[in-house]
């Protein structure tokens, strides 16, 4: 490794709770690239612990602490797998960037400013124990990326637009990068370096939840089950009446809003439907809310996250964007399932360099901020 070449590891466990994704990101004066990747499925007991923590319950501080420590052990397993794959030693890694597991997301009004006397209600909670991860891996860890943006009046999300611009920005083109994880977010990249972004709404979270409840499978592979159903116009109309979808500009969301009680309340308005029709409608909801949020004239729409592997969802999105080629980010040189983990490796490098990692046009923060907290090896 030359003096101008550094290696970072990025770790991500998203809203879908399907597992931990990790990458090695190699940086040099010529840019960056992912050299190795690893995925570890989330243990079912741990997944259930985090799902339970999305709502209040008895002894939740204790349960949250134990679940967090279990998650860090999973993260450490991914780090060691990456070191084995790459042939790197822990001392060769400049830092690990880790997102943690979101269990509450309650940002304040966009552009709000904290003061010494007015109660401050904005927060976003990612369960993480970076000190334990540093001990387990012997490497500097950068964590808690969202808090500073929220403190600066931002939504704390999405945080990936700056990385999307660095990875996928194209001269003379307007492009969109859409991450479809549990939630879906879109980044808009312009030919003059313009960057903006926002959460469009649910990505896979409602589809996964419904599929597991009715088939026992954690997700609908390739959207095959949804493809057997018919979209209910009545249900889709009820779902789209959610005020979140009418918001403009910087906005973010999570399981705090889009959850089973939210869905059940809307199902109750339309009467009984075949389960596969509900699944088809939830897929249509994700595709529709992404498509209507994107401007006309895009050169391409690149999709990453688990949604890029759902062929029915990709087809539905392409149907709603007939003038814009829709493709996985693989076509631009980065596999769809590596993008988010790579983003947090890149954000860790920004933190250590004292450079801002947020995009105020995407989060609504009062300005650029250096994100994250550093836990030395």
119 burial level (CB within 10 Å; 0-12, 13-18, 19+): exposed
Distance between CA atoms of 117 and 129, rounded to whole angstroms? 30
Beta-carbon contacts of residue 123 (< 8 Å; ≥ 6 apart): 104, 106, 107, 147, 150
pLDDT-derived band at 92, boundaries 50, 70, 90: very high
**CA dihedral (151, 156, 159, 161) positive or negative:** negative
Token pair belonging to 112:
């709000």
Distance between CA atoms of 53 and 35, rounded to whole angstroms? 34
pLDDT value at 261 more than 80: yes
More confident residue, 260 or 4: 260
In the chain, % of residues over pLDDT 90? 93
Residue that is written with structure tokens 């040099």 in the block: 28
CA neighbor of 375 nearest in space, from 100, 155, 85: 100
Mean pLDDT of the chain: 96
- Residue 181 near residue 15, CB atoms below 8 Å: yes
pLDDT value at 3 more than 70: no
pLDDT value at 2 more than 70: no
pLDDT value, residue 55:
84
Token pair belonging to 142:
């950068």
**226 strand-pairing partners:** none
pLDDT-derived band at 67, boundaries 50, 70, 90: very high
Average pLDDT for residues 146-171, to the nearest whole number? 94
pLDDT value, residue 266:
97
pLDDT value, residue 277:
98
Strand order in the sheet with 195-202: 195-202, 183-189, 175-180, 300-304, 326-328
Q: Which domains does the chain have, with CATH numbers?
A: 6-157+337-375 (3.30.420.40), 161-332 (3.30.420.40)
The region of weakest confidence among 117-126, 169-178, 368-377 is 169-178
More confident residue, 2 or 340: 340
Distance between CA atoms of 321 and 336, rounded to whole angstroms? 20
- Residue 357 near residue 159, CB atoms below 8 Å: yes
Average pLDDT for residues 140-145, to the nearest whole number? 98
Token pair belonging to 5:
């070449």
pLDDT value at 32 more than 60: yes
- Residue 199 near residue 157, CB atoms below 8 Å: yes
- Residue 311 near residue 335, CB atoms below 8 Å: no
Q: How far is CA 72 from CA 142, 172, 182, 278, in A?
A: 13, 42, 20, 36
Distance between CA atoms of 182 and 279, rounded to whole angstroms? 15
Q: What tens digit of pLDDT does each residue of 192-250 get?
A: 899 999 999 999 999 999 999 999 999 999 999 999 999 999 999 999 999 999 999 89
pLDDT value, residue 338:
97
pLDDT value, residue 4:
79
pLDDT value, residue 1:
52
Average pLDDT for residues 5-28, to the nearest whole number? 94
Beta 19-28 vs 6-12: how paired, if at all? antiparallel
Helices (H), the chain: 44-52, 60-86, 130-137, 147-151, 161-168, 205-215, 233-240, 260-267, 275-291, 311-320, 339-352, 360-363
CA neighbor of 261 nearest in space, from 206, 218, 301, 212: 206
Q: Is 352 helix (H, G, I), strand (E, B) or coil?
A: helix
């Amino acid at each position: 490794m030359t003096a101008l070449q550094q290696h970072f590891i990025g770790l991500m466990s998203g809203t879908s709770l399907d597992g931990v994704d990790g990458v090695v990101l190699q940086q040099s004066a010529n840019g960056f690239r992912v050299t190795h990747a690893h995925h570890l499925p989330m243990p079912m007991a741990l997944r259930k612990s985090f799902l339970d923590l999305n709502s209040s319950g008895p002894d939740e501080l204790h349960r949250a602490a134990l679940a967090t420590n279990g998650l860090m052990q999973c993260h450490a397993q991914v780090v060691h797998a990456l070191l084995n794959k790459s042939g790197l030693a822990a001392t060769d890694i400049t830092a690990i960037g880790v997102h943690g597991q979101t269990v509450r997301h309650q940002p304040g009004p966009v552009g709000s400013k904290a003061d010494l006397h007015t109660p401050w209600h904005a927060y976003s909670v990612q369960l993480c124990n970076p000190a334990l991860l540093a001990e387990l891996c012997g490497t500097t860890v950068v964590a808690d990326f969202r808090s500073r943006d929220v403190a600066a009046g931002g939504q704390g999300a999405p945080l990936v637009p700056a990385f999307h611009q660095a990875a996928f920005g194209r001269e003379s083109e307007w492009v969109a990068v859409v991450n479809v994880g549990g939630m879906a977010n879109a980044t808009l990249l312009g030919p003059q370096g313009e960057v903006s972004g926002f959460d469009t709404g649910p990505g896979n979270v409602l589809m996964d939840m419904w599929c597991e409840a009715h088939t026992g499978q954690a997700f609908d592979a390739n959207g095959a089950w949804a493809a057997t159903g018919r979209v209910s116009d009545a249900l889709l109309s009820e779902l789209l009446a959610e005020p979140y979808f009418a918001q403009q500009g910087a906005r973010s969301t999570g399981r705090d809003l889009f959850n089973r009680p939210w869905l059940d309340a809307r199902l109750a308005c339309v009467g009984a439907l075949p389960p596969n029709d509900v699944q088809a409608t939830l897929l249509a909801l994700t595709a529709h809310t992404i498509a209507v949020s994107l401007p006309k004239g895009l050169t391409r729409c690149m999709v990453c996250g688990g949604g890029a592997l759902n062929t029915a969802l990709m087809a539905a999105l392409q149907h709603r964007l007939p003038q814009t080629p829709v493709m996985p980010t693989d076509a631009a040189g980065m596999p769809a399932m590596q993008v988010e983990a790579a983003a947090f490796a890149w954000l860790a490098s920004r933190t250590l360099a004292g450079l801002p990692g947020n995009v105020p046009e995407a989060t609504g923060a009062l300005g650029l901020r250096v994100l994250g907290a550093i836990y030395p090896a």
